[in-house]
Structure 1
Amino acid sequence: MHPQGSKLLLASLLLLGAPACLAERADRDKPVHMEADQVLMDDARHISTFIGNVQFTQGTMLIRGDKIVVVEDNEGFKHGTAYGNTASFRQKREGLDEYVDGYGERIEYDTRAETVDFYGKARVVRDLDDVRGEHITYNQKTEIFRVHSGNAANAGTLPKRVHAVLQPKHKRDATNPSQSDALPIKPSETISPSE
């Protein structure tokens, strides 16, 4: 199979096999809280640079990195870029007690497009599913992950590959059984107490 065709096939399988992953919708209406060792704010250009053990929090969404640069446009939308040996992202899924966790050498968050991009050794984990590639785009509006494998280092080498572990639905459900799934406990009708 042609390499491009195999990438499209894998992406299709990922989209069909993984349940929807809707982000907590109320997060976008929450205030943004930033913590860092130091900050450089350029009000004229609407650019803030946070350096050293940076934490960006908005509702249930949390982004961590060594450095985060936030640019605000004229309409108030923010575009944040987190850098780090491993920058991290975490957000609660809408209506579920479940989180989406993502990692990369660089993470870009765009409040206008409602997307999160993970670059360089990118990884996204949801429940028991785990997807890895060089670049992962998580679209919070459409609930779609797009995973890119990256290019080959040299013309004579094979391109990198996307890696995914997708658990069957019954296995995912077994890790979070509901109360209705529990077997009822009742006394035995055939065993009598010993005298």
Structure 2
Amino acid sequence: MTPELGPWDPAEPAEVQRLFARQPAPWWVAGGYAVELALGRGLRDHGDIDVLLLRRDQLAVQQALAGWEWWAADPPGTLRPWSRGERLPAGVHDIWCRRNADSPWRIQVMLDESAGDDWVSRRERRLRRPIAEIGGRTEGGIPFLAPEIQLFYKEKNPRPKDEFDFAAVLPSLDAAQRSWLAEAIVTTSGPHPWLPALARADAPRDPG
């Protein structure tokens, strides 16, 4: 049974931090908020907030959001209740969460893959990073997904807000981040409109 989707009232990152501090698994603010946390400033309005966890830690969501409603997004996008203790299969990546049936949606959880101590992209299993290196943390202690990884997930079918986020964060990416993103795009998508901008950002600048 799919609920009427209803409105969103996304939690602020600080609220997410308070909620997910209840459980020990690693997590990261993702989506557009991750870009803002990486930059240290707001950029635009947000219709939702994404939180990334590793699939192996998925039940930590039920611990962090105890007493809430959890709905799994079964492909191709049908919401269904997620039962307590149920382990979602590899094809299910998204969980919508709200306090009760009369409340707006507050948090969308995304599940990503892992192997040992490595994060593994669900889009391309050849793309791996040490879990300890896939994110940063704000001065207030809020963990966020590394912007180059977030942009990789945005590049597949970029919407206007994704193009905006890419342009906003590109100047802050260091050479290693730009190189990783460019290689990830080439590996999964081949030619892409973002590649020239990444190459220009990497080009040596004329000191004169």
TM-score normalised by the shorter chain: which range applies? under 0.3
Higher RCO structure (Cα 8 Å, ≥6 apart): 2
Bigger strand fraction: 1
Please, what TM-score do these two structures have when normalized by structure 2?
0.24
